[in-house]
Amino acid sequence: MGFASKPVRMAIVRAQGLGKTYRVADKQPGLAGTLRHFVNRRERLIAAVQDVSFSIEPGEFVGFLGANGAGKTTTLKMLTGLIHPTSGTVEVAGCQPQRREADFLGQITLVMGQKQQLIWDLPPLDSLRVNAAVYGIPPEESRRRIAELAEMLELGDELRRPVRKLSLGQRMKAELLAALLHRPAVLFLDEPTLGLDVNAQARVRSFLADYNRRFGATVLLTSHYMADITALCPRVLLIHEGRLFYDGGLETLTQRLAPCREVRLELREPLGAEAFARYGEVEAIEGREVRLLIPRERLTEQVGRLLADLAVVDLSVSDPPIEDIIGRLFHEGAVA
Amino acid sequence: MRPPLAQRLAHARRLAAVLLSSQYAYMLEYRAEIVLWALSGVLPFIMLGLWSAVDAGGGLGMSSLQLARYFLAAFVVRQFTIVWVMYTFEEDNLTGRLSPYLLQPLPLVWRYVAAHLSEQATRLPFVALLVGLFFLLYPAAFWWPSLSSLLLAMLATLAAFALRFLMQFTLTMVCFWSEKASALERLLYLPYLYLSGLVAPLALYPEAVRNFAFWTPFPYMVDVPARILAGEPVAVGQSFAAMAAWAALLLPINLLLWRRGLRHYSAMGA
């Protein structure tokens, strides 16, 4: 486990001492507060990102973890040049992102879950035609790339239907196609599976892995779904309250962050909390449904005992939501 | 190294064709709304009715035929110089749609220019229909402008659109600092309305007001192209020079605000 960035010679993404401070209005609630704010507008500074340093090598698939408001999206916006850092330096694909040079823009893409670049009332193919022209991809080549990416994403007729008529999953896949048509070397993906059902999530995940393998693209991925991170990212960055706390292997982090797995039980009859104390930590009991946290190393044994001892109708095992894990971790001060 | 000029021109041509055709397809999806917008632009016809009533004694210095032709021309010019970039930009900024556009190697302004030109193309048949209807109701007002007047009027209308677009796009840059910058455009609409010639030909204004108006950019946005189209006398060279001077003043301000605005951009909603 490493708490500082590792010096990498051939980094394609390099952030050094990166910081971003926002100026936000500070208003008290109520009419009096509104009038005071109108006459004497007060602002305060919020440090969204502070002294963040890391580097990523070409072809790496890196997960970017943190609770809501931790500074993930602000960092991604700085890496893509959408916003200017208050302090520190950024270099992506040999360019300074905030200069927004065509050479740089042609090498990156930013995909934001539930934000779209496709023209809402037209089929995705119309937006793809525009993107091909914008990036100067010859028509024949763009047709070839669309066919290739559509096959990888399992998209067919959907590309000819108006975007507004597509399901969320189909739209996200079409968004990915549009974002990758110019074959960027660096992908910044901000919650690309947000709101998708489990099947659609799995398809997007497998596409991203495939894309990374096939084109050697570098990927920095933020996701609230632990499954995305575990399936795709051998390395993760963990950010909390704007500061980078962890930069290293996922396995080490998982053991440290989520030593327990969540076991959900549906019982034939409701039971009191004392009935579960010997199996693990009781997270919640709602009627016949129970959620337990069981240490990873004892999981198999305890699940076997639960099934043998209790009248279990249904049982499932999952990682607790990453939000909960990280929240608990920082609450307990385990990392800090 | 930059690609050769011929290659860059071919790229620009393809880009323009694709942007215009996709925006035209998009606008056609909203054709009903555009018809309503075109119908809502009949202010010059209302003003024609009012001024015709006032001019019953013929003391205004323009005959009723001249008035009719001027207001019809003003209607046509207005239809092809309507600019709404500030409202779209403001919405794009607030909803986060601006961010993906900013990450593409295409200056954002061209998307909005293409959207405006496509919308004008969508308006064209309805404008032609309304003009036909006008002549049906008022056949005495029918006239064919000479080819040179028509070409000059088209050029003046295009220049008027460019100037109005540049002016509004410059104000639009305030969106980088304020979430409700469109209020500025609403404020500017008043002088535009009274000094552009939409409510009356500037020839009818008191001399002092008229002289003042021609120091502002507004008369060049309706009055000048409308009078060229209606066959009224216009100081053509002076008018085009004034438009060029306003553009030369606004363009550097626009570029400066754009660069400053991008530094201030916080990618809201994204």
* pLDDT tens digits for range A273-312: 888 988 988 988 998 999 998 988 889 999 999 999 999 9
Neighbour tally for B224: CB within 10 Å: 30
Confidence of residue B265 (pLDDT cuts 50, 70, 90): confident
Nearest chain B residue (CA) to A85: B263
pLDDT at A4: 46
Angstrom CA distances, A207 to A76, A157, A172, A201, B98, stand at 21, 18, 12, 10, 27
pLDDT exceeds 90 at position A66:
no
| pLDDT of B12 higher than 70 | yes
Cβ proximity of B119 and B35 under 8 Å: no
Please answer whether residues B179 and B94 qualify as being in contact, where contact means their C-beta atoms are separated by less than 8 angstroms.
Answer: yes
Phi first, then psi: give them for residue B133, nearest 5 degrees. -60, -40
The CA distance from A167 to the nearest CA of chain B, in Å, is 20
Out of B30, B102, B270, whose CB is closest to A115? Answer: B270
Confidence class of residue A37 from pLDDT cuts 50, 70 and 90?
A: confident
Structure tokens at B238: 């002076």
Least CB–CB distance from B29: residue in A98, A121, A130: A121
At B48 the pLDDT is: 77
* Residue A247, pLDDT score: 93
Contacts of B22 in chain A (CB under 8 A): 119, 122, 126-127, 129-130
Beta bridge partners of B124: none
For chain B, percent of residues with pLDDT exceeding 70: 96
Residues in B closer than 8 angstroms to A177, CB to CB, are none
Residues of B in contact with A117 (CB under 8 A): 97, 100-101
Predicted confidence at residue A62, as pLDDT, reads: 96
Angle (CA) A151-A155-A161 rounded to 5° is 145
- Contact residues on chain B for A105, CB-CB shorter than 8 A: 103-105
The pLDDT of residue A3 is 44
Q: Is the pLDDT of residue A83 over 60?
A: yes
**Least Cα separation, residue B261 to chain A (angstroms):** 10
Do residues A111 and A182 lie in contact, with contact meaning Cβ atoms separated by under 8 Å?
no
Looking at residue B196, what DSSP letter applies? T
> B102 contacts in A (CB within 8 Å)?
82, 100
Contact check, Cβ <8 Å, A133/B100 = no
Confidence of residue A12 (pLDDT cuts 50, 70, 90): very high
pLDDT-derived band at A336, boundaries 50, 70, 90: very low
Q: Are A133 and B18 an interchain contact pair (Cβ–Cβ within 8 Å)? A: yes
Rounded to an integer, the average pLDDT of A77-90 is: 95
Asked if pLDDT for residue A41 goes beyond 90, the answer is: no
Tokens at B68, concatenated: 């009719």
> Residue A7 burial by CB count (10 A; 0-12/13-18/19+): exposed, middle or buried?
exposed
Q: Helices (H) and strands (E) in chain B — how many of each?
A: 12, 0
pLDDT at position A141 is 96
A200-211 pLDDT per residue, tens? 888 889 999 999
Residue A323: pLDDT above 90? no
Give A132's contacts in chain B (Cβ within 8 Å): 18
Which of A17-21, A224-228, A234-238, B230-234 shows the lowest per-residue confidence on average (mean pLDDT)?
A: A224-228
pLDDT digits (tens, 9 = 90+) for B121-146: 999 998 999 999 999 998 988 898 89
- Token readout for B12 is 């620009």
pLDDT for the residue numbered A17: 96
Question: Minimal Cα–Cα distance from B251 to chain A, Å?
Answer: 21
- Residue A157 vs residue B44, higher pLDDT: A157
pLDDT at B121: 93
Identify the band that residue A9 occupies on the pLDDT scale cut at 50, 70 and 90. Answer: low
Look up residue A127 and give its two tokens: 């937006």
Residue B146: count other Cβ atoms within 10 Å of its Cβ. Answer: 10
pLDDT for residue A124: 96
Q: B247: buried, middle or exposed (CB in 10 Å: 19+, 13-18, 0-12)?
A: middle
Closest in A83, A110, A129 to B265, CB measured: A83
pLDDT for position A116 = 81
Q: Any bridge partners for residue A95, and if so which? A: A92
How high is the mean pLDDT of chain B? 90
Q: Which residues of B touch A (CB under 8 A)?
A: 11, 14-15, 17-19, 22, 25-26, 29-30, 96-97, 99-106, 262-263, 265-267, 269-270
pLDDT at A330 over 70: no
Residue B87 to residue B93: CA distance in whole angstroms: 10
> What is the model's pLDDT at position B36?
79
Position A324 scores a pLDDT of 66
Chain B residues within an 8 Å CB radius of A73:
270
**What is the 3-state secondary structure of B126-153?**
HHHHHHHHHHHHCHHHCCCCCHHHHHHH
Kindly identify which residue of chain A lies nearest to residue B110, measuring between CA atoms.
A134
The average pLDDT across A5-25 equals 81
Site from A126, A171, A177 to mutate, B interface, most B CB atoms within 10 angstroms: A126
- A171-219 pLDDT, tens digit per residue, is 999 999 999 999 999 999 998 888 788 888 888 899 999 999 999 999 9
Percentage of chain A beyond pLDDT 70 is 91
Best B104, B110, B264 residue to mutate vs chain A (most A CBs within 10 Å):
B104
Distance CA B37, CA B164 (A): 18
Asked if the Cβ–Cβ distance from B18 to A129 is below 8 Å, we say yes
For chain A, the average pLDDT equals 87
Residues in B closer than 8 angstroms to A163, CB to CB, are none
Q: Which of A81, A116, A136 sits opposite B11 (nearest CB)?
A: A136
Rounded Cα–Cα distance for residues B44 and B81 (Å): 14
Task: Please write the tens of the pLDDT for every residue from A247-276.
Answer: 998 877 766 777 788 899 999 999 888 889
Look at the alpha carbons of B102, B103, B108, B114 in this order and tell me if their dihedral is positive or negative.
negative
pLDDT tier at A1 (50, 70, 90 boundaries)?
Answer: very low
**Confidence at residue B51, expressed as pLDDT on a 0 to 100 scale:** 76
Residue of B nearest to A113 (CA): B270
Distance CA B237, CA A117 (A): 44
The H or E element that residue B199 is part of is none
How far A83 CA lies from chain B's nearest CA (Å)? 6
Tally A–B CB contacts below 8 A: 78
Record: contact A117-B270, CB cut-off 8 A: no
Tell me the three-class secondary structure of chain A, residue by residue.
CCCCCCCCCCCCEEEEEEEEEEEEECCCCHHHHHHHHHHCCCEEEEEEEEEEEEEECCCCEEEEECCCCCCHHHHHHHHHCCCCCCEEEEEECCECHHHCCHHHHCCEEEEECCCCCCCCCCCHHHHHHHHHHHCCCCHHHHHHHHHHHHHHHCCCHHHHCCHHHCCHHHHHHHHHHHHHCCCCCEEEEECCCCCCCHHHHHHHHHHHHHHHHHHCCEEEEECCCHHHHHHHCCEEEEEECCEEEEEEEHHHHHHHHCCEEEEEEEECCCCCHHHHCCCCEEEEEECCEEEEEEEHHHHHHHHHHHHHHCCEEEEEEECCCHHHHHHHHHHHCCCC
> Distance of alpha carbon A57 from its chain centroid, rounded?
19
From the list B262, B257, B92, the residue with the least C-alpha distance to A97 is B262
Q: Who's near A82: CB < 8 A, 6+ residues apart?
A: A110, B99, B102, B103, B265, B267, B270
Tokens read off for B46: 């209302």
